[in-house]
Amino acid sequence: MKLRYNAIILIFTAFLPVSLLAKGNTKATLTVNPPAGHRVNVYIDCHNCYLGYIKSHIKFINYVRDNTVADVYLLISRVGTASGGHEYTMKFIGRHRYADKRDTLNYIASSTDTRDDERKGLVKRIKIGLVPFVINSDVSKYLNIKYEKPGSSTETKQHDHWNHWVFHVDAGTYISGQKTQHSFSLNSFLSAERITNKWKIRFNTSGHFNKNKYVFSDGSETRTHQHSENYNGLVAKSLSPHWSIGLYSNASSSTYNNIDLNVGASPALEYNIFPYSEYSQHELSFRYEVIPYYSNYTHETIYLKNSQFVVKQQLSIHLNLIQPWGEIESRITGSHMLNDFSKNRVDFHASLDIKVFRGLSVHLWGSYSLINDQISLSKQNITNQDVLLNLRQQATSYSFSTSVGIRYTFGSIYNNIVNTRF
């Protein structure tokens, strides 16, 4: 009798989830959990994509840590949207027996979505993208798909009362101290932007104030303060899939740069070798600007100027590639004064993330600048205090920074387990 009762309980438990799914109004969902030996091997390449959550909620695949043994290479990139949300681009690339399968899906998370809403939506899209790869495998035996027709409220196009305008306000302070040192800083940021397929309009202003007090062993003390204020604006229009035109505007003040007021505006023209719509894969763009601006200096400069008006031209080249073998991003910018070519500057920035071979990846980042345009340098002598505390800009002909990293992993290729303890 007891054995019969247990059998009834087991049968009821097995069919209960199916009956609930049949009665529920769930949107397109996948409910599968096949044995490990029948799963497709998937390698996920992403940053900031809730990988632990994905592993916990998509259990019908094997997660491998090496792309060379993967049946599916899933490359996920994330960029910010105009409204403050995120757009995810998911490239499903078949390998080995799935070499003829390839697809790209997008998912957009609203700025009002919680992190839970965002990761749930992302998981749902990944499940849909994996269907063509698992449909002809043993996993299909365990595959269950249900569909709920959207209600009229979701089908109706909503009116945007803000007309694509998005505003951000940020302000804060930081206070720290000990017996011989006190620090106080205040920061603020305000922005307004409107981004559509044809237009990009962006304005932002920020301010920074920092005050420090230092007490030395002999009882003497010194106080320092720095402040800076910045305004930047951009109005740009799309002319074609490759061409854009824009106008920059800016104003700034900085104790570090010896500037009481700097005001300028610059028209710009940009050309992208690839269509802008392919931003998630590659970009090679050229931007040319003519930049006139007026500067009023706090102290007389090394060129005996208290104020001046100058015009310079600038060319920038930006390269960005996101591929299964890694990612490359670099930018080189050159500029010079139109009335004095000897006042010039070249800036180069590059980052490289390459998967060399199974388990080995290399990360490189660096920047280098040739600097011959420091026209705002103060004529006043720089004290040791200014140097040690980095209170004022110093004369230099170059600057650089770099970092190199290497990562090698080996062992089990499977990493399906998620353990959040400790």
Look up the CATH number of the domain holding residue 121: 3.40.50
Look up the CATH number of the domain holding residue 359: 2.40.160
Average pLDDT (181-192) is 94
Do 267 and 386 have their domain in common? yes
Do 393 and 249 have their domain in common? yes
- In-domain check, residue 249: yes
- In-domain check, residue 414: no
**More confident of the two residues 320 and 149:** 320
Do 261 and 135 have their domain in common? no
- In-domain check, residue 182: no
Average pLDDT (95-121) is 85
pLDDT band at 331 (very low <50, low <70, confident <90, very high): very high
Do 134 and 256 have their domain in common? no
Do 257 and 399 have their domain in common? yes
Average pLDDT (136-162) is 67
- Which of 145-149, 275-279, 385-389 shows the lowest per-residue confidence on average (mean pLDDT)? 145-149
Do 260 and 390 have their domain in common? yes
- In-domain check, residue 19: no
Do 247 and 117 have their domain in common? no
CA distance to 200, 235, 285, 310, per residue, from 240 (Å):
14, 16, 14, 32
What's the pLDDT tens digit per position in 19-69? 333 333 434 444 445 555 567 889 888 877 888 888 888 888 888 877 788
State yes or no: pLDDT of 278 exceeds 80: no
- In-domain check, residue 165: no
Residue ending a domain, choose from 85, 109, 144: 144
Give the position of tokens 């400069």. 301
For residues 223 and 213, the answer to whether their CB atoms sit within 8 Å is: yes
Average pLDDT (189-209) is 92
- In-domain check, residue 370: yes
- Beta-carbon contacts of residue 389 (< 8 Å; ≥ 6 apart): 212, 224
Residue ending a domain, choose from 144, 178, 212: 144
Of 59-68, 140-149, 270-279, 340-349, which has the strongest mean pLDDT? Answer: 340-349
Indicate the number of domains in the chain: 2
| Distance, first Cα to last Cα, the chain | 46
**More confident of the two residues 70 and 23:** 70
- In-domain check, residue 280: yes
For residues 333 and 315, the answer to whether their CB atoms sit within 8 Å is: yes
> Residue 158's pLDDT is what?
59
Residue ending a domain, choose from 144, 170, 205: 144
> Residue 196's pLDDT is what?
84
Burial class (CB in 10 A: 0-12, 13-18, 19+), 108: middle
Do 399 and 282 have their domain in common? yes
For residues 59 and 412, the answer to whether their CB atoms sit within 8 Å is: no
Query: How many other CB atoms sit within 10 Å of the CB of residue 61?
Result: 28
Beta strands in 158-299 (DSSP E): 165-178, 181-195, 199-215, 221-238, 243-254, 259-272, 282-297
Flag whether the pTM goes above 0.85.
Answer: no
Do 263 and 399 have their domain in common? yes
Structural domain including 357 reads 239-408
**More confident of the two residues 415 and 35:** 415
pLDDT band at 279 (very low <50, low <70, confident <90, very high): confident
- In-domain check, residue 420: no
> Residue 1's pLDDT is what?
44
> Residue 144's pLDDT is what?
77
Average pLDDT (201-224) is 92
> Residue 27's pLDDT is what?
43
> Residue 418's pLDDT is what?
59
CA distance to 64, 93, 328, per residue, from 358 (Å):
12, 18, 19
